[in-house]
Amino acid sequence: MSLEFYWYLPTAGDGRSKAFDQLSPAKDTPNTSIRDLRRDHYTNIDYITQVARAAELTGFDGLIAPDDVAGEASWIVAGLIARDIKRPKIIAEFSPGAGSAVYFAKKSVTFQRYSGNRLGWSLATSTDAASRKALGDFITDADVPRRLEEFLIVSKGVAASTDFTFKGEFFEVLKGGFGGPLSGWNLPEISLSGETSEALEISAGYGDVHVFELGTADLASKIARLKALAASKGRTLTIALKARIFAHDDLDRAALEAKRAGFEDDAHTLTGDYDSLAEDLALLADLGVNRFQLFAPHSLETAYRIGEHVLPRIRQALKRAA
Amino acid sequence: MSIDFFWRLPTHGCSTSVRNPSLTRGDWVPLTEGNQAPGLYDGRPDGSTYIDHVAQIAKAAEISGFHGGLIPSFPMTDDPWVISSHLARETKTFRFMIAFQPGFINPVETARLTASLQRATAGRALFNIITGGGGPAQLWWGDSFAHDDRYGRTTEFLDILKGVWKEGPYSQNGKFYSVENGQLPAALAATDLPEIYFSGSSDAALQSASKHADYYLSWLEPFEQLKAKFGAVKEKTDALGRKIKCSVRVDLIARPTEEEAWADAKAGFEATAHKRSDSFKQASDSVGAARQAAFKASDAKHYDELIIGPNLWTGFSLLRGGPALGIVGSYEQCAQKLDELIALGTDSFILAGTPHLEEAYRVGEEVLPLVRGRQASLSIAAE
Ligand SMILES: Cc1cc2nc3c(=O)[nH]c(=O)nc-3n(C[C@H](O)[C@H](O)[C@H](O)COP(=O)(O)O)c2cc1C
């Protein structure tokens, strides 16, 4: 069994952004008694890139640029870090409502060419109709899964063939597909999520990764059901688990940090010292989780703590078990 | 008022020499000896990819005095959004002119993409809004809208893009796009809107450009025709109470002497003799493309049949994908042509030469310093 670890990038800022970032509403008035030469040379993206490098240097397998409407666009962030990040996968989260399936597949070919097939997609659409309308997306709740399915059919179609034709309700294409050096690249790995039977059905049929959240009720049986569903279609799925995490070498200090951030006893949050977190993650892996997607209010130091202390413990335990 | 000069980033390879169009840097033709960038070392892939070559060109352009570069987008090219974001952090002043069809990403998402790029680059993003050539290529992209509808959609797209960025929470109920209470987070909304270049030669295009464009962009056309076109756009825009500037996208073969320049045009022409195809003879509803195809470059038997005036040659479409008419001459003559274009109403240029990397230095170092701009335009106008 192998386990993978992905880290979420703070595209909308995090506890550290206050230092320089205008995204923070509580931007401090400058301390004029200190000469400050930064002017406007730095933004959130400089910090995000450091977080991405932190995760790469400490052994994470991938990075996720979330589609957070309060922050930077995920696709731009993915592109901005791509030349600095050499090994980890880079997942861009976006909604099939954001544009045409052919165009997203086309952009992805360029990304794959430049990164050596390291781009992933995480597809999700807001469940709130008003939020969707604010994004220019007037789809009904009932149509969301159907559009997702068409998006997947079309993007997979044009990635796999040079003569792909499809006319659906939401997307269409005539003799689509990529020629010359744009052909033969992998469509990005597709992460999907959701717990409805419709969502599980689409994941089983089209997804590569299904993401659950920590705190999902009956996680083990849901994972088993999804795996069986995929198997019935002759497919296999990677199961990912998304969780907020607080780590410290001292358990009490980890708890204190969680409490300060307002996530004491939170069902979606893991809090612990390095040994206990390694144990918790191993137990979750026993339920069928193959990939952990983690984030923290202090991205940079938590990525280092997890990467330097927790990942080695888990990886060594896996080696001993093997 | 000074003139803006942009260069072009080739998004589907770049010939190593105008004299031999068959060799192409990038992997659009197989990498081999004489054609190994990027990235072969001793006959084997060395891990570099086409973006490493594009980065070289962008840096050459910014070092040699260009504001940035146009990044074209066609079915066989790499993508300008990906290129811009990849190069944002390793360039300093280079501005990314993203060629973009408004049908492909929704306007709110586009606003956020662009504002993020603006923030990451301290305002170095701009658009070349293209509205598509129609025909089978348009459906290849998954877009089945007809010519004039596409321009209607472009107008609504830009309404909403600007609205959510600068007037959020913004609502609009359109025929093609709608939004309800759309806005950007404060830090993104505080960035500048990108300058908008706008391409398209039809009436529908001029209509849409008049409302939203900062620059109306045209391929080079015979000077009188271009003057009339720019005049019409400026008039239409004036009537709407706006100001628009005009920009020309043109290739140069600039050499120390005119003889060398024509010798290179001739060599390039002759190197294409075995398969002379005009890159603009394709099914499309584009008015601008039809004007370029009308030069019938591929019918010529000899390179000089394509000379339509001093230093003006319509054979460029034989040497690479793109428009036919371009400038061939000594450094002084090239600068003189640019001055003539400035005199007839050009405010900005997107230049290109083959190979894009070395020619960025050459044109930046040898031609741009000779351009006299507005000072010259007064004396030319008086002639
Ligand atoms: C300078 C210039 C650059 C263009 N670049 C592109 C491009 O990168 N991709 C594209 O699909 N069309 C491009 N076009 C095509 C036009 O934007 C437009 O779609 C086409 O000319 C059809 O419009 P029309 O009928 O109004 O001329 C370009 C046109 C011009 C003049």
- pLDDT tens column, A218-233: 999 999 999 999 999 9
The predicted structure's pLDDT at residue B21: 82
pLDDT of residue A119 exceeding 50, the answer is: yes
> Taking the alpha carbons of A158, A159, A161, A162 in that order, is the dihedral positive or negative?
positive
Domain ranges of chain A: 4-321
The rounded distance, in Å, linking the Cα atoms of B239 and B234 is: 9
The rounded distance, in Å, linking the Cα atoms of A91 and A85 is: 12
Confidence of residue A26 (pLDDT cuts 50, 70, 90): very low
The rounded distance, in Å, linking the Cα atoms of A89 and B254 is: 44
The rounded distance, in Å, linking the Cα atoms of B73 and B128 is: 10
Confidence of residue A18 (pLDDT cuts 50, 70, 90): low
Determine whether the shortest distance from the Cβ of B216 to ligand 1 is under 6 A.
Answer: no
Average pLDDT value for residue range A76-95:
97
Of A308, A304, A305, A296, the closest CA to residue A270 belongs to: A296
DSSP state of A265: T
For residue B28, give the nearest of A40, A78, A180 by CB distance: A180
* Cβ atoms of residues B11 and B83 within 8 Å: yes
- Phi-psi region at B13: left, alpha or beta (left = phi > 0; alpha = psi -120 to 50): left
The percent of residues in chain B predicted with pLDDT above 90, rounded, is 69
With beta carbons under 8 A apart, name residues in chain B contacting A77.
116
ipTM of the complex: 0.93
pLDDT of residue A34 exceeding 80, the answer is: no
Q: What is the DSSP string of B177-245?
A: -EEEEE---HHHHTSPPPEEEEE--SHHHHHHHHHH-SEEEEE---HHHHHHHHHHHHHHHHHTT---E
CATH 3.90.1300.10 fits A4-321, yes or no: no
B9: its two tokens: 């980033």
Residue B126 to chain A, least CA–CA distance (Å)? 14
Cross-strand partners of B178: B173
Confidence of residue B34 (pLDDT cuts 50, 70, 90): confident
With beta carbons under 8 A apart, name residues in chain A contacting B87.
83
Confidence of residue A28 (pLDDT cuts 50, 70, 90): low
Average pLDDT value for residue range B41-64:
92
The predicted structure's pLDDT at residue A24: 45
- Residue to mutate among B48, B82, B162, B191, with most A CBs inside 10 A, is B82
The percent of residues in chain A predicted with pLDDT above 90, rounded, is 87
pLDDT of residue B244 exceeding 50, the answer is: yes
Confidence of residue B146 (pLDDT cuts 50, 70, 90): confident
A25/B186 CB distance under 8 A: yes
Amino acid identity for residue B103 in this structure: G
Residue of A nearest to B137 (CA): A174
Average pLDDT value for residue range B256-268:
97
Residue A316 to chain B, least CA–CA distance (Å)? 32
Confidence of residue A25 (pLDDT cuts 50, 70, 90): very low
pLDDT of residue A29 exceeding 70, the answer is: no
Average pLDDT value for residue range B74-80:
96
Name the residue with tokens 């901005």: A80
Determine whether the shortest distance from the Cβ of B155 to ligand 1 is under 6 A.
Answer: no
